[in-house]
């Protein structure tokens, strides 16, 4: 796979040590979603895969995945949530967009849904749309792709945070693939840190 400069830059501040190739069937994903996906997202799935950032934000896989303990959240469920929030907020009166152009790729622990606004026929030109639950505006569009948005967000380059909950501390970013997190949990370890956890393995997520 061709290296993506945006994902490479993100990897400098968030190592892919605990990431894994999601091994996505992109033809199946494109058929399901009736679109191609941005090159940075494809590269991210190949380098990091789906999983969590600091245990407080999740990057979603485009196809349903089945885990050894539980199924991870996917794009379809959160896309449905984002589109429903758009309707509840008044539809076009809140955001002048076709709901079919709202596609979720991530969520935060503060219940923000990170999306693309997929209006352009070229997916590499899709901006990020944040559907916020505790933000100044319920819908905010940022002129960056997914990887650049994450890089800017985690580098504190926004004057006002686009999300309602800070899931980075300015000095440490950890990404853990969802399968690795579940294996750690099964082994009695904290899914995010890998440290022994007496509560891990006892209960569901």
191 lies in some domain = no
Domain membership flag for residue 130:
yes
Find the mean pLDDT for residues 2-19.
Answer: 91
Is 201 domain-assigned?
no
Query: For residue 203, is it within any domain?
Result: no
What percentage of residues in the chain have a pLDDT greater than 70? 88
- Segment 61-76 mean pLDDT: 84
The CATH number of residue 157's host domain is 3.40.1580
Q: How confident is the model at residue 2 (pLDDT cuts 50, 70, 90)?
A: low
Domain region containing 30: 5-186
Q: Rounded CA gap, 35 and 123, in Å?
A: 8
Average pLDDT score over the chain: 89
Confidence at residue 83, expressed as pLDDT on a 0 to 100 scale: 97
Average pLDDT for 154-181 = 83
Q: pLDDT value at position 147?
A: 97
205 pLDDT exceeds 50? no
**Dihedral angle of Cα 129, 133, 136, 138, to the nearest 10 degrees:** 50
102-126 confidence digits (pLDDT tens): 999 999 988 899 999 999 999 999 9
* Residue among 57, 40, 192 at smallest CA distance from 123: 40
Residue 122, domain member (yes or no): yes
Task: Report if residue 200 sits inside a domain.
Answer: no
Answer yes or no: is 78 within a domain: yes
In a domain, 202, yes or no: no
Q: How many structural domains does the chain have? A: 1
Mean pLDDT of all residues in 190-200: 68
């Amino acid at each position: 796979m061709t290296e993506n400069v945006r994902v490479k830059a993100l990897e400098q501040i968030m190592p892919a040590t605990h990431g894994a190739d999601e091994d996505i069937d992109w033809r199946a994903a494109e058929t399901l979603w009736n679109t191609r996906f941005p090159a940075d997202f494809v590269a991210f799935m190949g380098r990091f895969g789906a999983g969590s950032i600091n245990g407080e934000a999740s990057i979603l896989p485009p196809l349903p995945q089945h885990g050894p303990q539980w199924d991870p959240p996917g794009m379809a469920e959160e896309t449905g949530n984002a589109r429903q929030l758009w309707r509840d907020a008044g539809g076009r009166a809140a955001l002048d967009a076709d709901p079919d152009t709202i596609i979720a790729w991530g969520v935060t622990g503060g219940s923000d849904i990170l999306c693309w606004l997929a209006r352009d026929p070229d997916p590499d030109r899709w901006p990020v749309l944040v559907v916020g639950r505790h933000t100044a505006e319920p819908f905010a569009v940022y002129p960056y792709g997914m990887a650049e948005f994450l890089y800017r967000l985690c580098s504190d380059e926004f004057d006002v945070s686009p999300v309602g909950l800070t899931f980075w501390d300015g000095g440490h970013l950890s990404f853990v693939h969802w399968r690795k997190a579940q294996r750690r949990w099964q082994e009695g370890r904290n899914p995010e840190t890998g440290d022994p956890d007496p509560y891990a393995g006892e209960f569901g997520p």
